[in-house]
A = this chain, B = another copy of it.
């Protein structure tokens, strides 16, 4: 993708893939101790007796790693600013999973009168090493229109 994307650079069906990122057990435990202290996230041994049958990452950890991959792969000018999102976690993330993100632009709306930002909707699917979705997110982003003094397409 281009260096900096303005609203005019986005189109429906536009698709981007991220790099791959591996999630490890220690990270899963550290994140969960801080933000989601439930035994199936913080205690790999006890987690065997949980609904998940083993140690799993917090869905919020998956969401946070997804944001990292989104920031790296979708360089919106002025930053990725989420207005609202929908998230589903169809299956758990386990230690050693290799996560990657596929993002597809689903809609682009022009700025309202008086605003320099329009909206874009992005469907962001986080996949594991078996190409199974572990998180499906639809995010509405506030995206800047290209300033009048920056003509032409993306650099």
Contact = CB atoms under 8 A, between A and B. Distances in A.
Q: Is the interface of A mostly helix, strand, loop or mixed?
A: mixed
Contacts of A50: 78-79
Contacts of A68: 34-37
Contact of A79 (B31, B40, B80, B84): B40
A45 to B, nearest CB: 16
24 contacts: A31-B64, A34-B64, A35-B65, A35-B68, A36-B64, A36-B71, A37-B68, A37-B71, A38-B71, A40-B79, A51-B78, A51-B79, A51-B81, A58-B67, A60-B60, A60-B63, A60-B64, A83-B88, A84-B86, A84-B88, A84-B89, A85-B87, A86-B86, A86-B87
